[in-house]
């Protein structure tokens, strides 16, 4: 009886083996012809890892965790001396852009401004809002939101930045130990501070009236891990494989508390709007009047109010409001939190820089007879050395180390090479800011790089912490004012001392610049 079963089984296995062999042969033949395409010949003029049959260069991040993935991108930039290519097939290939020559065409004009398919992975999280939409939808959203970042509004936000900075200082004081200042874990403390400010300024809601803030901050990190897993595994680019392997279900579970949190923000502000407590917005008052805000904070309006008013005029629907609130709650707090974390770390490492900055702040403080420790928004702009220090921190530690574009029109570079249509252009700002041609000795912290005479010698696209061109960051002035307000107040109040050394930091690939371990400093109260 056994022999009766063995023969059919052997026949089935033999047939399957033949089918698989034929399929493999067909794939290999297709791969050969695919590599004869104009796209491959164009992209192959850029250096990169060896392209293997069928798998291309997909092996270069296979099995790597977030920290090793970050290191791999830095390794290949150093190995190839600049921008380099990755290849799977003519439908999925990447140019990792790390130098100005290849970057400039994406930021200097109106072509090739569409975000790449990698941003599609963010759709379940933040929808298709200002960050990742394109075409007419992006243009309409930009027009709606631009007034929300008017000069007068930012001055109104400044009062909130001051108040939240004082709360941050109170948290630092409470961490003090009997024998001296305690270690401060920067990521969580700065994240709490920036989430407070984005909720009160842009959303018009105080965080102490909301549930779920802690779950939101923690959930952001887990969602970032999920995005990375998909971005470095090309087989997960297809929605069906992402779902079959269980990732989609896990992502939905992670996103539920995040969306509940932002829905609560919208509902609370919408209730005020419907109750007529924001009458001048609903009536379509002139923007200059609507957003004029006195320093004492008696009249404060938020980006969410602008969206609610636009909904009333039929310019955006409820789904659109959710998209922008999800986008700005995430982007507006996480990126600024990363910026502050690395600014305070850098000041702790660079004691001479910190002392010079303190002396500049103290001089203006005494000249202006500042009583509450806060400068006016206009005063912050007059501090030249302070400005150079912040810029150099953004150069070394760009909060968003990576953005991506889709090549919708072929690009011809000055050296004759072409970036073919349908290429994914990964713009690595972290590496761009370390180009030794533009920034000699790039790992050295040197604020004098941003003296006017030194800036004039560089390519204008060598330094782009907020991107540039048509799709630059709409909130960059907001972020800079928030950062400068917090740093000025805390440096006048404390001496920042190192705990975590620069050599100890292990970065991870994520949506914003992060480290794999806690980053700590000490804030020692000044006596003078």
Give a three-class secondary structure readout of 216-285.
HHHHHHHHHHHHHHHHCCHHHCCHHHHHHCCHHHHHHHHHHHHHHHHHHHHHHHHHHHHCCCCHHHHCCC
Average pLDDT, the chain: 88
pLDDT at 85 over 50: yes
- pLDDT at res. 277: 57
Rounded Cα distance between 449 and 436, Å, is 12
pLDDT tier, 11 (very low <50, low <70, confident <90, very high otherwise):
confident
pLDDT at 147 over 50: yes
pLDDT at 253 over 60: yes
Name which of 59-68, 201-210, 265-274 the model is least confident about: 201-210
The answer for residues whose C-beta is within 8 angstroms of residue 254's C-beta and 6 or more apart is: 219, 222, 223, 226
pLDDT at 301 over 60: yes
Which has the higher per-residue pLDDT, 406 or 290?
406
Main-chain dihedrals φ then ψ at residue 437, nearest 5 degrees: -70, -40
Give tens-digit pLDDT for 470-510: 899 999 999 999 999 999 999 999 999 999 999 999 999 98
Rounded Cα distance between 387 and 397, Å, is 15
pLDDT tier, 293 (very low <50, low <70, confident <90, very high otherwise):
very low
pLDDT at 284 over 60: no
Give tens-digit pLDDT for 442-457: 999 999 999 999 999 9
- pLDDT at res. 182: 76
Structure tokens at 178: 């009997």
pLDDT tier, 298 (very low <50, low <70, confident <90, very high otherwise):
very low
pLDDT at 264 over 80: yes
Rounded Cα distance between 376 and 352, Å, is 26
Which has the higher per-residue pLDDT, 390 or 17?
390
Rounded Cα distance between 147 and 152, Å, is 10
- The burial class, CB within 10 Å (0-12 / 13-18 / 19+), for 408 is middle
pLDDT at 254 over 90: yes
For residue 473, say whether it is annotated as part of any ligand binding site.
yes
- pLDDT at res. 467: 92
pLDDT at 156 over 70: yes
- pLDDT at res. 296: 41
Give tens-digit pLDDT for 62-77: 778 888 999 999 999 9
How much of the chain, in percent, has pLDDT values that exceed 90? 56
Main-chain dihedrals φ then ψ at residue 486, nearest 5 degrees: -70, -45
Backbone dihedral region of 416: left (phi > 0), alpha (psi from -120 to 50 degrees) or beta? left
pLDDT tier, 220 (very low <50, low <70, confident <90, very high otherwise):
confident
pLDDT tier, 287 (very low <50, low <70, confident <90, very high otherwise):
very low
Name which of 27-31, 37-41, 285-289, 409-413 the model is least confident about: 285-289
pLDDT at 431 over 60: yes
């Amino acid at each position: 009886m056994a022999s009766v079963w063995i023969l059919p089984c052997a026949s089935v296995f033999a047939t399957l083996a033949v089918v698989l062999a034929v399929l493999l042969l067909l794939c290999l033949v297709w791969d050969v012809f695919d590599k004869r395409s104009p796209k491959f010949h164009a992209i192959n003029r850029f250096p990169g890892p060896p392209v293997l049959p069928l798998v291309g260069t997909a092996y270069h991040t296979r099995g790597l965790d977030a920290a090793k993935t970050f290191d791999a991108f830095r390794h290949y930039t150093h190995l190839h001396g600049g921008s380099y290519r990755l290849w799977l097939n003519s439908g999925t290939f990447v140019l990792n852009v790390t130098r100005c020559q290849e970057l400039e065409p994406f930021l200097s004009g109106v072509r090739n401004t569409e975000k790449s398919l990698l941003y599609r992975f963010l759709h379940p999280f933040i929808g298709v809002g200002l960050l990742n939409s394109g075409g007419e939808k992006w243009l309409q959203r930009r027009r709606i939101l631009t007034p929300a970042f008017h000069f007068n509004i930012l001055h109104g936000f400044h009062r909130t930045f001051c108040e939240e900075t004082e709360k941050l200082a109170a948290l630092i004081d409470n961490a003090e130990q009997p024998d001296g200042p305690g270690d401060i874990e920067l990521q969580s403390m700065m994240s709490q501070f920036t989430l407070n400010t984005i909720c009160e300024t842009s959303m018009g809601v105080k965080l102490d009236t909301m549930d779920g803030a802690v779950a939101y901050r923690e959930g952001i990190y887990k969602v970032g891990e999920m995005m990375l897993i998909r971005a470095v595994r090309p087989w997960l680019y297809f929605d069906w494989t992402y779902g079959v392997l269980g990732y989609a279900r896990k992502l939905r579970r992670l996103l539920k508390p995040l969306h509940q949190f932002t829905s609560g923000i919208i509902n609370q502000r919408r209730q005020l709007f419907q109750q007529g407590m924001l009458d001048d917005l609903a009536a379509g008052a002139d923007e200059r009047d609507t957003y004029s805000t006195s320093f004492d904070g008696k009249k404060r309006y938020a980006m969410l109010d602008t969206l609610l008013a636009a909904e009333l005029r039929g310019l955006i629907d409820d789904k659109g409001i959710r998209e922008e609130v999800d986008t700005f709650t995430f982007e507006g707090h996480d990126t600024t939190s990363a910026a502050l974390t690395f600014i305070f770390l850098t000041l702790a490492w660079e004691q001479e820089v910190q002392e010079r900055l303190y002396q500049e702040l103290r001089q203006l403080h005494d000249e202006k007879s500042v009583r509450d420790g806060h400068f006016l928004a206009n005063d912050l702009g007059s501090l030249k050395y302070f400005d150079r220090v912040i810029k150099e921190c953004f150069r070394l530690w760009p909060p968003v180390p990576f953005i991506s574009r889709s090549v919708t029109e072929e690009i011809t570079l000055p050296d004759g090479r072409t970036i073919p249509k349908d290429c994914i252009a990964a713009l690595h700002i972290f590496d761009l800011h370390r180009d030794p041609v533009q920034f000699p000795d790039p790992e050295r912290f040197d604020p004098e790089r941003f003296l006017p005479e030194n800036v004039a010698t560089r390519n204008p696209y060598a330094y782009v912490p907020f991107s540039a061109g048509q799709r630059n960051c709409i909130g960059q002035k907001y972020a800079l004012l928030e950062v400068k307000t917090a740093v000025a107040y805390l440096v006048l109040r404390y001496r920042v001392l190192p705990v975590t050394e620069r050599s100890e930091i292990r970065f991870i690939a994520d949506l914003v610049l992060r480290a794999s371990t806690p980053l700590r400093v000490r804030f020692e109260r000044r006596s003078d």
